[in-house]
Amino acid sequence: MTEHGPKTYPRLTHPFVRDTRDEPLRRASWEEALDRAARGLRRNRDAFGLLSCARATNETHYVAQKFARVVMGTNNVDSCDRACHASSVAGLSAVFGSGGGTSSYEELEQTDVIVLWGSDARPARPVFFQHVLKGIRGGARMYAVDPRRTSTARWADGWLGLNVGTDIPLAHAIGREIIHAGLANEAFIGRATSGFEEYRALVEPWTLSLAQKVTGVPASAIRELAHAYARADRAQLCWSLGVTEHHNGTDNVRALIDLSLLTGHIGRRGSGLQPLSGQDNVQGGIDMGAVPHRLPGFQDILDRGARLRFESAWGAAVPPHYGLNVTEMFEEMESGTLRAVHCLGGDPARSQPDGARTVRRLKALDFLVVQDIFLTETAELADVVLPAAAGRVESEGTTTSGERRVQRVRKAVDPPGEARDDVGILCELARRLGHDWKYADAEAVWNEVRTLSPDHHGMTYERLERHHGIQWPCPDTDGIEPPFLHGRLWEADPAERGRLAPFGIVRHDPPIDLTDEQYPVRLTTGRRLDSRNTVVRGGSFASALRRGECVELCPEDAERYGVVVGEQVRISSRRGSVLAPVWIDTALRPGLAFMTLRLPDGVDIDRPTAGAACPIAGTAEFRATAIRIDKLPVVTYVG
Ligand SMILES: Nc1nc2c(c(=O)[nH]1)N[C@H]1C(S)=C(S)[C@@H](COP(=O)(O)OP(=O)(O)OC[C@H]3O[C@@H](n4cnc5c(=O)[nH]c(N)nc54)[C@H](O)[C@@H]3O)O[C@H]1N2
Ligand SMILES: Nc1nc2c(c(=O)[nH]1)N[C@H]1C(S)=C(S)[C@@H](COP(=O)(O)OP(=O)(O)OC[C@H]3O[C@@H](n4cnc5c(=O)[nH]c(N)nc54)[C@H](O)[C@@H]3O)O[C@H]1N2
Ligand SMILES: [Mo]
């Protein structure tokens, strides 16, 4: 039986190396660790991948992708964007050509309707949610679309408690109702979009009553949201993991974007789309090119002109084809074509779907370097561990928030022990591999970004300070663009309007892991205020019960299973089973259970079925596991 005690990782204060795989890590000097890292990477130049850290600075992301492309000659570079934000980027890019949210947080206070779709923003996004609250206080109506009646949903004027994985039927029914009620914005559709007739035919079967049957949301609630959204002068549609972490995450995103095209809630102040990105600098990772298909500033790897610009600035060739994303990198580890990994932040041993298999794959690598601020589970498997300074408080640089705002971060404290700045570590490694990059400081890195990414060109450090951050695009050093994107769609002149925004023609596709008699309960996962991604740090929890992990059930289900708060139960999916104490929460409904993303001992009960990942974005279906809950013969309590 597994105990779910809190796990504390020690902060790294000096490098480690391992002499052979059978020996434990031992303390090493920087010289030795860097030399070894360079040797291990050199012999794997043709089989290398780099995972960049969504908590590090833009400058780190930029140098990391340059390291992969220039020093190692590969586009195999990615970050945890794959886990949560990639489907949003893929969906938005397909429609509008760039993958950022179209609105700003301040516009939540300048709007009439806010829809929060699949996001428990109150605990997970407190800064964003403050703006939502101000919007509500200013008179905006708020709707929450979430299987659970979360603490976020408790602030809503309307809660649409849909069945997990039925977002497309719900969106289609809203679309159909808008069309049938004569509320579609025909002028905007005709002027700025393509594919409307096909969309109309696609949503036509989704009557309110069919949608009620499939989604579990009362027809009246669907109708109310459709009318409120379409009639509003200005409306914000915001979404997050409840939409993206599905095997058809990009399709889900397209179904939501369709609603904005249908109503013209895009490209105007107060009207737009906000895909809530996850980690503090996940957006920056994508913008800085720490992705396998884009150079910094969203420039496509397949665009020869873009490649040439980077090649002449970097003095090195850029591989002219897409690299592997995180999901694909882990698959290629299995086949042996990817043999060395530089893991810069991130703890894939805990965060990748299928933990046991991930650990096996990492162990089978010829060479693993981990550059982190903590001795994570992944670091425990590494050949070389390099201690980094925390990007947020121990180094200089910039980060980019979910509203595309680039902000300065400053060094407030010294890194502990021998820990060093991420950029400096990468430059030392590059030097050992034949590339002497001379960056005097973070600003020098940033100025290189500015010469290569037109969207960032106008953002000098001085201006970023003066304006308290600037949103991209910022092409000029003397202007600030409006806070929302795609205003061009409203231009009267077709030449100014540019390319049309296509409706997405996407169909309902239920979760891969179906519930049945043996596994009758739907487990979904999400965040809690008192836990943070892969890291469960001891002592930080408010409640003793939650120091470990618990499974949340509604009172009716608890009664049905004859269990009470604190009682251990066995939770089994088709892929494994764990013990966890019960917590009773009226946010849940019968047949729906909830946990955070990971048990502290590393057993991932929400481990997706093999292959259950979005084929476009590579995001795994973390949100929909079929489980069974069994009362134990002998009752034990935790608390
Ligand atoms: N089962 C399941 N798994 C999931 C999810 C789920 O819902 N269910 N959700 C997924 C999601 S949304 C995400 S974002 C991922 C997160 O997956 P990861 O990114 O792997 O996990 P984090 O815990 O966020 O890891 C951040 C790491 O960065 C390190 N770090 C922090 N700051 C710095 C820095 O400045 N420099 C360096 N070098 N390192 C730094 C931290 O010590 C930590 O180890 O997990 C995904 N995995
Ligand atoms: N306290 C805290 N804050 C965090 C994090 C953390 O670990 N702790 N992690 C950060 C990261 S990396 C991320 S990506 C964000 C995540 O931020 P959010 O996505 O806002 O937070 P989650 O709790 O993951 O929200 C997902 C919601 O989707 C709902 N949901 C589940 N299935 C479905 C479905 O099929 N359809 C719909 N519509 N909804 C569904 C869940 O009930 C849940 O309320 O949070 C960030 N902030
Ligand atoms: Mo995330």
For residue 376, the ligand 1 atom closest to its alpha carbon is 44
**How far is ligand 3, taken at its centre, from the CA of residue 596, in Å?**
12
Nearest Cα to 270, choosing from 488, 471, 109?
109
Q: Do domains 87-275 and 521-631 have the same CATH topology?
A: no
- Sheet with strand 16-17: strands edge to edge: 26-27, 16-17, 384-387, 367-372, 340-344, 48-51, 77-78
Pocket of ligand 2 contains residue 532 by CB under 6 Å:
yes
The answer, yes or no, to whether the previous bond of 473 is cis (omega within 30 of 0) is yes
Side chain identity at residue 468, one-letter code = H
pLDDT, tens digit, 9 for 90 and up, residues 296-329: 999 999 999 999 999 999 999 999 999 999 989 9
86 pocket-lining for ligand 1 (C-beta < 6 Å): no
Quick check: helix, strand or coil at residue 446?
Answer: helix
Nearest to 155 by CA among 186, 123, 187: 123
From CA 327, how far away is CA 80, in angstroms rounded?
10
For residue 282, the ligand 2 atom closest to its alpha carbon is 12
* Cβ 104 under 6 angstroms from ligand 1: no
With a 6 A CB cut-off, is 143 part of the ligand 1 pocket? Answer: no
Residue 14 DSSP code: S
Nearest CA to ligand 2 atom 24: 526
Buried/exposed code over 375-414 (b: 16+ C-beta within 10 A; e: otherwise): bbbbbbbbbbbbbbbbbbebbbbbbbbbbbbbbbbebeee
CA distances (Å), origin 220, targets 96, 229, 258: 32, 14, 21
Phi-psi region of 612 (alpha: psi -120 to 50; beta: other; left: phi over 0): beta
Q: What is the pLDDT of residue 611?
A: 55
From the CA of 85, give the closest atom in ligand 1: 12
What's the CA gap between 120 and 195, in Å, rounded? 33
**361 with 334: CB under 8 angstroms?**
yes
The finding on whether 91 has its CB within 6 A of some atom of ligand 2 is no
Alpha carbon nearest to ligand 2 atom 17, residue: 124
Spatial separation of the C-alpha atoms in residues 524 and 593, rounded to whole Å = 6
Find out whether 433 and 499 touch, Cβ atoms under 8 Å: no
Ligand 3 center–CA 137 separation, angstroms:
29
Residue 372 has phi, psi (to 5 degrees) of: -145, 175
**How many other CB atoms are there within 10 angstroms of residue 231's CB atom?**
14
- Ligand nearest to the Cα of 12, by number: 1
Nearest ligand to the CA of 54 is: 1
Atom of ligand 1 nearest to the CA of 394: 35
* Residues in a beta bridge with 629: 571
Kindly give the distance from the C-alpha atom of residue 150 to the centroid of ligand 3, in angstroms, as a whole number: 18
Closest CA to 455 of 466, 471, 440, 439: 471
Write the Ramachandran bin of 572: left for phi over 0, alpha for psi from -120 to 50, otherwise beta: beta
118 close to ligand 1 (CB < 6 Angstrom): no
Closest by CA to 62, choosing from 288, 240, 362, 336, is 288
Determine the Cα–Cα distance for residues 315 and 308; give it in Å rounded to an integer: 10
Q: Which two tokens stand for residue 135?
A: 């919007």
Question: Tell me, what's the pLDDT at 546?
Answer: 45
Q: Is the CB of 361 under 6 A from ligand 2?
A: no
**Within 10 Å of residue 190's Cβ, how many Cβ atoms?**
9
Neighbour tally for 424: CB within 10 Å = 16
**Which ligand 2 atom is at minimum distance from the Cα of 119?**
20
CA of 242 to the centre of ligand 2 (A): 6
Extract the residue ranges of the chain whose pLDDT is less than 50. Answer: 1-7, 536-546, 599-603, 610
Distance, CA 123 to ligand 2 centroid (Å)?
9
Q: Quickly count: other Cβ atoms within 10 Å of residue 308's Cβ.
A: 11
Q: Cα of 83 to ligand 2 centre, how many Å?
A: 12
Assess whether the C-beta atom of 475 lies below 6 angstroms from ligand 2: no
The whole model's pTM is what? 0.92
Sequence letter at residue 558 = A
CATH number for region 521-631? 2.40.40.20
Largest Cα–Cα distance in the chain?
74
- Cα→Cα distances 627→68, 554, 576, 592, Å: 41, 15, 10, 10
Contact status, residue 624 vs residue 246, Cβ threshold 8 Å: yes
Residue 296 parent element (H or E): none
460 CA distance to ligand 2 centroid (A)?
34
3-class SS letters over 96-127 = HCCCCCCCCHHHHHCCCEEEEECCCHHHHCHH
Strands, E assignment, 353-401: 367-372, 384-387, 397-400
pLDDT of residue 528: 80
CA of residue 247 to ligand 3 center, whole Å = 16
Does the CB atom of residue 549 touch ligand 1 within 6 A?
no
- 112, 141 contact by CB (below 8 A): yes
d(C-alpha 581, C-alpha 595), whole Å: 11
The DSSP element (H or E) to which 143 belongs, if any, is strand 141-145
Which has the closest alpha carbon to 508: 309, 211, 245, 70? 211
Model pLDDT, residue 526: 82
Q: Is the CB of 598 under 6 A from ligand 1?
A: yes
- Residue nearest ligand 2's atom 19 by CA: 241
CATH number of 87-275: 3.40.228.10
Sign of CA dihedral 283, 284, 285, 291: positive
* Tokens, residue 129: 């949610």
Domain boundaries along the sequence of the chain: 36-83+281-409+444-471, 87-275, 521-631
Q: Which helix (H) or strand (E) holds 1?
A: none
Pocket test for ligand 1, best of 330, 351, 426 (most atoms within 8 A of CB): 351
Closest C-alpha to 59, from 461, 454, 361, 418: 461
- CB distance 253 to 244 below 8 Å: yes
Condensed to tens digits (0 to 9), the pLDDT of residues 559-599 reads: 999 999 989 899 888 877 878 889 999 999 999 999 876 54
Dist CA 391 CA 404 (whole Å): 18
Coil, strand or helix at 553: strand
Q: Which residues contact 208 (CB under 8 A, 6 or more apart)?
A: 173, 177, 219, 222, 223
Is the CB of residue 81 below 6 angstroms from any atom belonging to ligand 2?
Answer: no
Q: Give nearest CA residue, ligand 2 atom 18.
A: 119
Strands 113-117 vs 77-78: parallel, antiparallel or unpaired: unpaired
Give the residue, out of 79, 240, 279, 527, with the most ligand 2 atoms within 8 A of its beta carbon, to mutate for a pocket test.
527
The distance from CA 47 to its chain's CA centroid, rounded to whole angstroms, is 26
Measured from the CB, is residue 83 less than 6 Å from ligand 1?
yes
AA identity, residue 78 = D
What is the per-residue DSSP string for 473-486?
P---TT----SSS-
Query: How many A from CA of 462 to the centre of ligand 3?
Result: 31
The hierarchical CATH code for the domain 36-83+281-409+444-471 is 3.40.50.740
Ligand 2 site, residue 99, Cβ cutoff 6 A: no
Q: Is the CB of 582 within 6 Å of ligand 2?
A: no
Q: Residue 205: how many CB atoms within 10 A of its CB?
A: 12
Ligand closest to CA 622? 1
Strands 397-400 and 405-409: antiparallel
d(CA 245, CA 4): 25
State whether the beta carbon of 52 lies less than 6 angstroms from ligand 2: no
Could you tell me if the CB of 119 is within 6 A of ligand 2?
yes
